[in-house]
Amino acid sequence: MYLVTAAEMGQLDRLASSEYLVPSIVLMENAGLRVVESIRRHFQDRVKNRRVLIFCGKGNNGGDGLVVARHLLNQGAEVKVFLLARPEDLRGDARTNLEIYQKMGGRIFPLLGESHLQRADIALLYADLVVDAIFGTGFKGAAMGLPAAVITMINKAHRDTVAVDLPSGLEADTGRAFGPCIQATWTVTFALPKLGLVVEPGASYAGRLEVADIGIPQKLIDSQRFNLHLLTAAWCRSRLPKREASGHKGLYGHVLAVGGAPGLTGAIALAATAALRAGAGLVTAAVPRGVHGILAMKTTEVMTCPLPETPAGYLSREALEPILERLAACDVLALGPGLSRDPATVELVKELLPRLKAPAVVDADALNALATDTGLLTGNHGPLVLTPHPGEMARLAGTTAARVQEDRLEIARKYAREWQVVLLLKGARTIIAWPDGQAYINPTGNPGMATAGSGDVLTGIIAGLMAQGLEPGVAAAVGAFLHGAAGDEAQARLGQHALLAGDLLNFLPAVFRNLEVEAGVTASLGRD
């Protein structure tokens, strides 16, 4: 499902009218009607006598709110419109809907100054529902002055609140709120989800997200070649590797996982097992000789292979040739889980990268090793999937984790293009950026997954999917979706605190099986 910016949405609205002759007031009418239908569902179709407060701004978002007011009034609801503008300030379609509403006997309460706030505050005490139609995609920066006071007052009332298109106070393009922002129970956004609704904190302000069709021609949408997507269950399901009945393990690929160090065998065990859980036919875990026995004890289905090590037990540069020999018989390399930052191991990684032909997932300390010489990434290398968390991304980009978190999408896209890699930037709403500029946002997952080993499981899942023939970018996207979905399943049963990375492995089969009924943000969208 495409994600759009405010400007792209505005362009769609304009072209719908200019190129496809859909009058803008028809788009507004459709928008308002979709919100009314959503409200009816919220009230189990009993709208009569419900007390609904509709807060309208001066733009077209306010216009949508007035369409909602008209129809709820017609359906017997008790409607009050609080207008954060003078009637004469309204223009065009919004003004038309104001005038229709008034001709129908609809009541308008001005909300222009502090003195008007109290009346709204009292009305909020008795409201069954608040409709937030103050700001939509036209909003920039921070809500201040009266709008800020109104937003704060609405939030304090803790009434069920539906946001029209966007929760007011949220920037559509960044998902950030620099001032007060409506905390919506749910949001009905029009045509396509805006980026700010699916990244934090926007996703939290928006509450449950519904995407409503307002009649923008699909042909117009497809012609825009948008390159930012929200991952959906349908998209992932259609790209899962198929399992032929006649399949044999060789058909499902062979993953070589390289990592491990004294005291760090858990990471490589999790990654290797995750690759099997993701459906790889064979997995070999290659680790320093000294911990090979431990790993062999920890794992059963995973084959293990001892590698040359330094006196202290870390992978040494002598491991280079044995790794390349092993890799020649494998389909994909998972490099990094539990690798450690031992200087000899760092050198090994830097010598290994330019020699790689097979696709590789590079994670954790292998990323930290490359951060000491990112020139290796601009050299020629096989297809790579890098899976940094914000701290590792900061080291790779020579900046701070805080800066990375401020501009997650831009940074992921910049380095995916610069290094010609698939760059999966972990964090709330993981971003998967492809070298060709396409980018995907993963809606699944929860804070309970911020636990040791969770990233190793993701590395294994992605490598396992690549071993079965998925393109690196698709494997990273589907892997992130499945990893988060397993975390959501695990949280549902175990809560967030007790969740262990190993639990993710146990819930992966369930997630693979019931991909069709994915809960959360995708099911309510109903569309790919």
Ligand X SMILES: NC(=O)C1=CN([C@@H]2O[C@H](COP(=O)(O)OP(=O)(O)OC[C@H]3O[C@@H](n4cnc5c(N)ncnc54)[C@H](O)[C@@H]3O)[C@@H](O)[C@H]2O)[C@@H](O)CC1
Out of 4, 27, 352, 504, which residue is the one contacting ligand X (CB under 6 A)?
27
- Rounded CA-CA distance 444/331 in Å is 28
Instruction: Return left, alpha or beta for 68; rule: phi > 0 is left, psi -120 to 50 is alpha, else beta.
Output: alpha
Under 8 Å CB-to-CB from 428, ≥6 apart: which residues?
199, 200, 445, 447
CA 471/CA 288 separation, integer angstroms: 30
C-beta closer to ligand X: residue 31 or 505: 31
Total residues contacting K ion (rule CB under 5 A)? 4
**Residue 91 binds ligand X (CB under 6 A):** no
Other CB atoms within 10 A of residue 335 CB: 31
In whole angstroms, give the CA distance from residue 369 to residue 329.
25
Cβ pair 278, 255 in contact under 8 A? no
Q: Which option in K ion, ligand X, none does residue 132 bind, with CB closer than 5 to 8 A by kind?
A: K ion
The verdict on 141 binding ligand X (CB under 6 A) reads yes
Which of 137, 168, 345, 522 is the binder for K ion (CB under 5 A)?
168
CA distance 475 to 465: 5
Chosen residue from 106, 136, 359, 388 binding ligand X by CB under 6 A: 136
Considering only 186, 190, 205, 434, the residue that binds ligand X (CB under 6 A) is 190
Do the annotations mark residue 242 as ligand-binding?
no
Among 132, 173, 309, 489, the residue binding K ion under the rule CB under 5 A is 132
Q: How far is the CB of 22 from ligand X (least distance, A)?
A: 9
**List 164, 181, 209, 346, residue binding K ion (CB under 5 A):** 164
Instruction: State how far the Cα of 260 lies from the Cα of 287, in Å rounded to an integer.
Output: 5
Contacting range for ligand X; rule: CB under 6 A; set: 43-51, 52-60, 411-419, 466-474: 52-60
**Token output for 475:** 């494997």
176 and 204 Cβ atoms separated by less than 8 Å: no
Q: Which residues contact 110 (CB under 8 A, 6 or more apart)?
A: 82, 83, 86, 116
| 473 annotated among ligand-binding-site residues | no
Residue 83 and residue 108: Cα distance in Å, rounded?
Answer: 7
Q: How far is the CB of 500 from ligand X (least distance, A)?
A: 42
Q: How far apart are CA 356 and CA 515, in angstroms?
A: 34
Nearest distance, CB of residue 175 and ligand X, angstroms: 15
Nearer to ligand X, 57 or 279 (CB): 57
Three-state secondary-structure class, residue 134:
coil
Among 110, 138, 382, 502, binds ligand X (CB under 6 A): 138
- Of 27 and 377, the one with the shorter C-beta distance to ligand X is 27
| Contact between residue 388 and residue 476 where contact means Cβ atoms under 8 Å apart | no
Task: Say if residue 201 is preceded by a cis peptide, omega within 30 of 0.
Answer: yes
Distance CA 139, CA 145 (A): 14
143 or 233, CB closer to ligand X? 143
Nearer to ligand X, 190 or 419 (CB): 190
Collapsing DSSP states into helix, strand and coil, what is residue 397?
A: helix
**Residue 147 within binding range of ligand X, rule CB under 6 A:** yes
> Residue 325, Cβ neighbours under 10 Å: how many?
9
Spatial distance between the Cα atoms of 494 and 511, rounded to a whole number of angstroms: 16
Q: Is 488 annotated as a binding residue?
A: no
Name the one range near ligand X by CB under 6 A: 24-32, 153-161, 358-366, 416-424. Answer: 24-32
Say if residue 464 carries a ligand binding annotation.
Answer: no
- CB 67 to ligand X: min, Å: 8
Greatest C-alpha distance within the chain: 87
- When binding is defined by CB under 6 A, the residue of 139, 415, 434, 440 that contacts ligand X is 139
Shortest separation between residue 406's beta carbon and K ion, angstroms: 24
Q: Is 358 annotated as a binding residue?
A: no
CA–CA gap between residue 231 and residue 222 (Å, rounded): 17
Among the candidate windows 100-108, 142-150, 301-309, 378-386, which touches ligand X by CB under 6 A? 142-150
Number of residues that bind ligand X (CB under 6 A): 27
Q: Residue 484 Cβ, how far from K ion at the closest point, in Å? A: 28
Closest C-alpha among 207, 231, 199 to residue 515: 231
Interacting positions 116-135 with ligand X (CB under 6 A): 135
Q: Answer for the pair 259, 268: CB distance below 8 angstroms, yes or no.
A: yes
CB of 153 to ligand X, least distance (A): 16
Query: Considering the rule CB under 6 A, would residue 13 count as an interface residue with ligand X?
Result: yes
Q: Which residues are annotated as a binding site?
A: 60-64, 132, 136-142, 165, 168, 267, 338, 389, 426-430, 455-456
Q: Residue numbers of the site for ligand X (CB under 6 A)? A: 13, 24, 27-28, 31, 57-64, 135-143, 147, 164-165, 190, 214
- Known binding-site positions for (6S)-NADPHX: 60-64, 136-142, 165, 267, 338, 389, 456
**Contact residues for K ion (CB under 5 A)?**
132, 163-164, 168
